[in-house]
């Protein structure tokens, strides 16, 4: 075999590491793949790390210890987070998006494969240090962003259903309260085998008004003896101020609606401007 050049190693390593975010690759993985010395691979990694940081393409992190190695996290700069969410807020504030009943049409944005990935990147960043074992969402609209968040964290997605389905086996089913006035009781179910007691969950959804569905997901995790290490949503409404779940990270806030224009006022959340 021809000797593999640094150029080729860097091209390949960049692809391999960024394709599996938040997963540790040992140096031996690369020394074997490329037939190169550890010191050579270390130099490669430092070039990669510099290139990623220079062009705002995420971060390479070295993990020390026996299980150590290197991993990639798609952590965007503050500038990228702000510009992404300002652009999305602008699109979400366009006339015609407000539907009867004051619902905001967001599906084209949450189902866009690039945008859902960007939102997943930003949400994942807030929870790397909490090391969730999986991302939980409730069907249906939250799934794409939750999936991309899970991808960035390198963990599986778990989907709670409105009802228990035959093809998912025995399930735990709870009732939860949804709707503005707290008078609507709904059902949420999750297959028994979907999660393991003692795991840690990150809850992700697309929209929060009162927080009833998120509260339901928290309660559901309690039934499974799973700790919830965080809750994130794409959009939270400013009103009601009091939500049924505390400490939710929202990417954007829906501040007001203009029924005549059929539009909403959506802005990036304040924490976005306080990032380092």
Residues that bind its own copies (CB under 8 A): 4, 6-16, 18-20, 33, 47-48, 50-52, 54-55, 57-58, 99-101, 103-105, 107-108, 111-114, 116-117, 139-141, 143-144, 147-148, 150-151, 154-159, 161, 166-169, 191, 193-194, 207
CA–CA distance, 203 with 73 (Å, rounded to integer): 20
Least distance (Å) between residue 30 CB and its own copies? 11
Q: Which is nearer to its own copies, 9 or 218 (CB)?
A: 9
CA–CA distance, 102 with 3 (Å, rounded to integer): 63
Phi, psi of 213 (to 5 degrees): -65, -40
Q: Which is nearer to its own copies, 159 or 251 (CB)?
A: 159
Least distance (Å) between residue 270 CB and its own copies? 25
Number of neighbouring beta carbons within 10 Å of residue 18: 16
Please say whether the dihedral angle defined by the alpha carbons of residues 13, 73, 83 and 92, taken in this order, is positive or negative: positive
CA–CA distance, 120 with 84 (Å, rounded to integer): 12
Q: Which is nearer to its own copies, 156 or 273 (CB)?
A: 156
Least distance (Å) between residue 215 CB and its own copies? 19
CA–CA distance, 141 with 107 (Å, rounded to integer): 7
Least distance (Å) between residue 17 CB and its own copies? 9
Least distance (Å) between residue 78 CB and its own copies? 19
Residue 84 near residue 76 (C-beta atoms within 8 A): yes
Q: Which is nearer to its own copies, 55 or 64 (CB)?
A: 55
Residue 17 near residue 70 (C-beta atoms within 8 A): yes
Q: Nearest to residue 189, comparing CAs of 229, 224, 225?
A: 224
DSSP 120: H
Q: Which is nearer to its own copies, 11 or 256 (CB)?
A: 11
Q: Tell me the two tokens of residue 185.
A: 């009781």
Least distance (Å) between residue 26 CB and its own copies? 17
Least distance (Å) between residue 99 CB and its own copies? 5
CA–CA distance, 104 with 89 (Å, rounded to integer): 12
Q: Nearest to residue 49, comparing CAs of 37, 36, 58, 41?
A: 58
CA–CA distance, 30 with 38 (Å, rounded to integer): 8
Q: Which is nearer to its own copies, 78 or 193 (CB)?
A: 193
Q: Which is nearer to its own copies, 114 or 270 (CB)?
A: 114
């Amino acid at each position: 075999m021809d000797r593999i050049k640094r150029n080729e190693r860097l091209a390949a390593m960049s692809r391999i590491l960024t394709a599996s975010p938040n997963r540790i690759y040992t140096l031996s993985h690369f020394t074997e793949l490329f037939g190169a010395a550890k010191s050579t691979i270390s130099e490669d990694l430092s070039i990669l790390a510099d290139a990623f940081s220079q062009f705002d393409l995420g971060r390479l992190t070295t993990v020390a210890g026996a299980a150590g190695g290197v991993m990639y996290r798609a952590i965007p700069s503050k500038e990228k987070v702000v510009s992404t969410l300002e652009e999305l807020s602008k699109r979400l504030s366009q006339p015609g998006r407000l539907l009867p009943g004051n619902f905001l049409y967001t599906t084209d944005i949450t189902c866009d494969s690039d945008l859902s990935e960007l939102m997943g990147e930003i949400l994942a960043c807030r929870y790397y240090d909490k090391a969730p074992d999986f991302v939980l969402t409730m069907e249906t609209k939250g799934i794409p962003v939750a999936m991309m968040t899970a991808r960035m964290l390198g963990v599986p997605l778990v989907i709670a259903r409105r009802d228990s389905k035959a093809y998912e086996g025995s399930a735990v089913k709870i009732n939860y309260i949804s709707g503005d006035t707290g008078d609507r009781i709904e059902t949420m179910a999750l297959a028994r085998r979907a999660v393991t007691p003692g795991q840690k969950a990150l809850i992700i959804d697309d929209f929060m008004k009162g927080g009833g569905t998120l509260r339901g997901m928290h309660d559901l995790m309690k039934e499974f003896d799973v700790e919830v290490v965080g809750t994130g949503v794409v959009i939270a409404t400013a009103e009601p101020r009091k939500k049924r779940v505390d400490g939710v990270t929202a990417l954007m806030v829906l501040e007001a609606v203009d029924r005549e224009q059929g539009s909403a006022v959506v802005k990036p959340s304040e924490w976005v401007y306080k990032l380092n």
